[in-house]
């Protein structure tokens, strides 16, 4: 009987990480889930695994070398999948050092401890082990209309403290492969959306504000363009890269769904008008607010490498995925209220009050 595969997943209580954990358990993998449980980490995302003996949750920081060393030695994972990161551009503008601490120094500590542990494994285990680092398309900078989409060889050109910190962590991961031979993989994804997203990001924020009759704050003229990727498609791609990707390589993951921010908000308003009819038009709540500093105009992902090498395709269309997402938030208002803590309300005031 073959040994059950075991993953150490960092940041596994967050939006994308929790989706990956849930999918991994559906595939029968044992998951050691390490999460610091900052504002965006939420164990309610994993409520269905509360009595699952093969989901072991540990609250802790990737910068805690002793904890990482103990987890590796005790559970002997077959792979480490690193989701742990500060991940919101607006927050990075207000507090860039927090992003350096987690995304750069934390990743560096995690890599060092994993490398030291991995180097002592027997030959077979060393050969099969993988370290997969989850990153973002924002490390590549910004595009203009008509520019070719980001590919894996696009030079890095980060424009925000968030993207700069993620670029640094990507470089560290690659360096540990080139210097020490650690078998790493990197994925760079476009904007994610879907169930259980912390309500500071565009889609989740707009859904909740619309339902509550609050303004829908759109930066600038709403003309900034993003490629939208359903979180379930993203996590399926990560699993495929982990299983079949070539070590030392990076893979872009995109949704083939470029939209302006204003188009996204208007589409959400139309869906809400169908799902929760209201005398007022949800679109009348749209308010254009002062743009954020250094706002990248366009992101777009060329994911042909992933599609051609590993055979991946997104399952969700943007139209169906967005409608499904709206329905999830309508059906889970208790989840929403639990995550909207005082810290969340303070953040909304800090980020938006002076823009309207």
Q: What is the pLDDT of residue 66?
A: 98
Q: What is the pLDDT of residue 231?
A: 98
Catalytic, out of 35, 61, 90, 137: 137
Residue 110: which CATH number? 3.40.50.720
Question: What is the C-alpha to C-alpha distance for residues 335 and 15, in angstroms, rounded to an integer?
Answer: 13
Q: What is the pLDDT of residue 124?
A: 97
Which H or E run includes 304?
Answer: helix 304-310
Q: What is the pLDDT of residue 344?
A: 45
> Which pTM was predicted?
0.93
190 φ, ψ (degrees, to nearest 5)? -90, -175
Number of domains in the chain: 1
The string over 100-125, giving b where at least 16 C-beta atoms fall within 10 Å of a residue's C-beta and e elsewhere, is bebbbbbbbbbbbbbbebbeeeeeee
Does residue 138 carry a catalytic annotation?
Answer: yes
Does residue 249 carry a catalytic annotation?
Answer: no
Does residue 180 carry a catalytic annotation?
Answer: no
**Residue whose entry in the numeric block shows the structure tokens 């020490």:** 180
Q: What is the pLDDT of residue 294?
A: 84
Quick check: is 245 in a domain? yes
Q: Read off the pLDDT of residues 89-108 as tens digits, 9 standing for 90 and up.
A: 888 898 999 999 999 999 99
Quick check: is 187 in a domain? yes
Segments of the chain scoring below 70 in pLDDT? 1-2, 341-356
Catalytic, out of 86, 138, 170, 200: 138
Q: What is the pLDDT of residue 356?
A: 47
Tell me which residue range forms the domain holding 66.
6-196+230-255+295-316
Quick check: is 260 in a domain? no
Quick check: is 281 in a domain? no
Q: What is the pLDDT of residue 355?
A: 40
For 42, 54, 275, 322, the CA distances from 328, given in Å and listed in that order, are 16, 26, 11, 10
Q: What is the pLDDT of residue 341?
A: 64
Catalytic, out of 35, 61, 86, 162: 162
Quick check: is 335 in a domain? no
Q: Read off the pLDDT of residues 266-306 as tens digits, 9 standing for 90 and up.
A: 999 999 999 999 888 999 999 999 998 889 999 999 999 99
Quick check: is 270 in a domain? no
Quick check: is 164 in a domain? yes
**Which residues contact residue 129 at a Cβ distance below 8 angstroms, ignoring those fewer than 6 apart?**
78, 79, 118, 121, 183
Question: What is the C-alpha to C-alpha distance for residues 172 and 169, in angstroms, rounded to an integer?
Answer: 5
Give the count of beta carbons closer than 10 Å to the beta carbon of residue 276: 12
Quick check: is 84 in a domain? yes
């Amino acid at each position: 009987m073959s040994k059950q595969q075991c993953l150490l997943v960092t940041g596994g209580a967050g939006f994308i990480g929790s989706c990956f954990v849930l999918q991994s358990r559906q595939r029968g993998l044992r998951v050691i889930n390490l999460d610091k449980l900052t504002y965006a980490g939420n164990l309610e995302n994993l409520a269905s695994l509360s009595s699952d003996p093969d989901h072991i949750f540990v609250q802790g920081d990737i910068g805690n070398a002793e904890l990482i060393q103990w987890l590796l030695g005790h559970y002997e994972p077959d792979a480490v999948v690193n989701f742990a990161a500060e991940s919101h551009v607006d927050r990075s503008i207000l507090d860039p050092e927090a992003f350096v601490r987690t995304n750069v120094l934390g990743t560096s500590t995690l890599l060092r401890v994993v490398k030291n542990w991995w180097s002592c494994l027997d030959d077979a285990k060393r050969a099969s082990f993988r370290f997969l680092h989850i990153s973002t398309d924002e490390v590549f900078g910004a595009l203009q209309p008509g520019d070719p989409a980001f590919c894996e060889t696009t030079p890095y050109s980060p424009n925000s403290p968030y993207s700069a910190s993620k670029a640094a962590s990507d470089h560290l991961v690659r360096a540990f492969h080139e210097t020490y031979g650690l078998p790493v993989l990197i994925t760079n994804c476009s904007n994610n959306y879907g169930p259980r997203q912390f309500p500071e990001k565009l889609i989740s924020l707009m859904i909740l504000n619309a339902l509550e009759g609050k303004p829908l704050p759109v930066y600038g003229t709403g003309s900034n363009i993003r490629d939208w990727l359903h979180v379930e498609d993203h996590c399926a791609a990560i699993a495929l890269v982990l299983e079949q990707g070539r070590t030392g390589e990076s893979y872009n993951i995109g949704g083939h769904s470029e939209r302006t921010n204003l188009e996204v908000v208007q589409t959400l308003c139309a869906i809400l008008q169908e799902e929760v009819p209201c005398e007022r038009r949800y679109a009348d709540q749209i308010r254009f607010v002062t743009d954020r500093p250094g706002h990248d105009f366009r992101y777009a992902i060329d994911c042909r490498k992933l599609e051609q090498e590993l055979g991946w395709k997104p399952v969700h269309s943007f139209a169906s995925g967005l409608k499904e997402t709206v329905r999830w938030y309508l059906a889970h208002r208790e989840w929403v209220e639990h995550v909207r803590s005082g810290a969340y309300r303070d953040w909304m005031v800090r980020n938006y009050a002076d823009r309207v």
